[in-house]
Structure 1
């Protein structure tokens, strides 16, 4: 419907790719509602262009960061502070009702029936079922609610440093007041729960409507071998536990999203993470912090020499910004050999 929308958030290029897959999964399951994505200024122009093709509305918003290092450290997820940006979704007042979905979710069945629910409807969090998980929730846009949320955030903060803590604090009656606002777990099947109650997953998992790739391991941080039709990387137990869902994500990404990205990146260095031949560990040095992840080195890279010469002209600040956008010079200055030398020096 024209006055209802699915809403997601992408604060960087990686989450933008997740949002693209989410959009395609919603369309492939025949939603009749609008699709909206909130993006941060760090999302690159090529990704913005692809998002505009897949979403009815792309709105650039200011990134809100809780900067609550103490609570975020308890979860070992310093990256979740920026999820406060999610609160902007209440400003979409030209829609009568919306469903927010994290960019690391995948729709596997039509979920338009969620618009029959009232604010704030959400599924229990697998880690603490008296809290709701904010990966999927039904809400009603309202500037009055938005202002109250911002005031609550300023006065009370968030008990986990991210959006989930502040929203559970604000909508504190969710656990006890109205059971109709408790979504069945199949609307937010959190991957982390597969390890704690695997028998239930085997019993009910086939009814899943939305899969949520919780935790630090995201589909885009893994690699995909299209010939073997296998997803690799990360914890092999975790990959094996929901390999079919990961394969669904990567299949959709490689078939319906990757071609659009390649078209819009043009002459810029672009590594899809899809055509896998070698997986190399890489390390990002940013002041005193060391962040680890993985990259995919493709067998052929036509832009390698041009990228290498360009990287030599970049300042350290420009290089850092490119790392954050996922546009590191993997074949030149930021090659595995050079990174390995820096790692050796750092460890010594």
Structure 2
């Protein structure tokens, strides 16, 4: 239940990367300001009225940044009144940091290697829990009085500000084992003491599932029996495949769903999206399951209409700053997830014409220059 363990040192261990739009708390440990190339100063990202509470998520690489961006935009679309925070790892590129800063109020880098001693020690003893230990950094956000964590593979369908009326540790049951909670959505109170106890628990006991859910369920072990008020309704963390595992319940309660969680190995960005039909296709298997399609289409609609323009605006800013400069956005970065289906076959161009198109920035992101095709060539080259 988190009551055991030694006292935590009064250090949060954040490497401390704050991007434009972030806030700084004079009472919090010193953090460094980093402004990567192309970063822009943000005036105001939201209509927030509660500055000491936040929605928090985690992106460990550029691909998961795509999920975080859609999540953040979905919160803004639903007029969330709390600040938006994303934790990132050093693996996230400068480009994605800038794009994230256009959606989130704070972008904070977490580097376990350069963290405080007690965090680094936990990482050395339990390297397999690297991502989990990174997620635990959300408890160090002590300039907030209360936070709601959402995994980057969730999508908010309606306003969920009422979750801030809940106490730590509130979460919804896991569909696979309801006596455990699912750690994709939970309410918590930042605390350096709790953070230290969690790290000690991770060092001493590890995680029974090798991830944060096992560790958190072991730490908050009384969740299933102690206080029913800490059980969030399933509509706050609906597994996207529940629609067909228990279809009668979905028909009855599906219209009330507030947060969809794309559990499992296949994420929204693993699907192909046809912008002309507004629907997704799963690689190699035709249409996605019809019960999940509506949620996937919502995800992709946000990605196409709100996230892709951020990349385009970044490119426009770069073009304006450096007229005639032809070093445009890498298709690998832009096409991490957007691999839609071309509607027509493009005419065959000579290698010289192809090269000229790239130099002029006329890249076929939706067709032959899509990331999936580039990846295939890289794989063949490396074999």
Tell whether the structures are fold-level matches, with TM greater than 0.5.
yes
CA distance in structure 2 between the partners assigned to 1:303 and 1:231 by the alignment? 32
Contact 1:307 1:332 in 2 (8 A): no
Cα distance change of structure 1 residues 337 and 162 upon mapping to structure 2, 3 Å threshold:
closer
CA distance in structure 1 between the partners assigned to 2:151 and 2:371 by the alignment? 32
Partner of 1:108: 157
- Please state how far the C-alpha of 1:85 moved relative to its aligned partner: 1.4
Aligned residues: 296
Contact 2:280 2:297 in 1 (8 A): yes
2:73 is matched with which residue: 17, 24, 35? 24
- Please state how far the C-alpha of 1:214 moved relative to its aligned partner: 0.5
Partner of 1:276: 340
Partner of 2:25: none
1:262 and 2:312 are equivalent in the alignment? yes
- Please state how far the C-alpha of 1:333 moved relative to its aligned partner: 10
Partner of 1:232: 281
Partner of 2:251: 202
- Please state how far the C-alpha of 1:300 moved relative to its aligned partner: 11
1:6 is matched with which residue: 34, 55, 63? 55
TM-score normalised by L of structure 1: 0.77
Contact 2:146 2:190 in 1 (8 A): yes
CA distance in structure 1 between the partners assigned to 2:269 and 2:372 by the alignment? 23
CA distance in structure 2 between the partners assigned to 1:303 and 1:263 by the alignment? 26
1:135 and 2:196 are equivalent in the alignment? no
Partner of 1:253: 303
Partner of 2:239: 190
Contact 1:95 1:141 in 2 (8 A): yes
- Please state how far the C-alpha of 1:46 moved relative to its aligned partner: 1.0
Q: Which runs of 5+ in 2 are unaligned?
A: 1-49, 113-122, 319-327, 360-368
CA distance in structure 1 between the partners assigned to 2:346 and 2:156 by the alignment? 29
CA distance in structure 1 between the partners assigned to 2:133 and 2:96 by the alignment? 22
Structure of higher CA gyration radius:
2
CA distance in structure 2 between the partners assigned to 1:166 and 1:210 by the alignment? 23
Deviations 1:256-278 (A, max 9, x none): 11110233366132243446235
CA distance in structure 2 between the partners assigned to 1:298 and 1:215 by the alignment? 35
CA distance in structure 2 between the partners assigned to 1:160 and 1:232 by the alignment? 31
- Please state how far the C-alpha of 1:340 moved relative to its aligned partner: 5.5
Partner of 1:90: 139
Cα distance change of structure 1 residues 166 and 277 upon mapping to structure 2, 3 Å threshold:
same
1:242 is matched with which residue: 292, 301, 321? 292
What's the secondary structure of 2:355's corresponding residue?
helix
CA distance in structure 2 between the partners assigned to 1:121 and 1:51 by the alignment? 27
Q: Which runs of 5+ in 1 are unaligned?
A: 69-79, 280-296, 310-328
Contact 1:7 1:36 in 2 (8 A): yes
Contact 1:8 1:103 in 2 (8 A): yes
1:179 is matched with which residue: 212, 228, 235? 228
Q: Cα RMSD (Å) of the superposition?
A: 3.2
CA distance in structure 2 between the partners assigned to 1:95 and 1:338 by the alignment? 44
Deviations 1:118-148 (A, max 9, x none): 0000000000000000000000000000000
Partner of 1:73: none
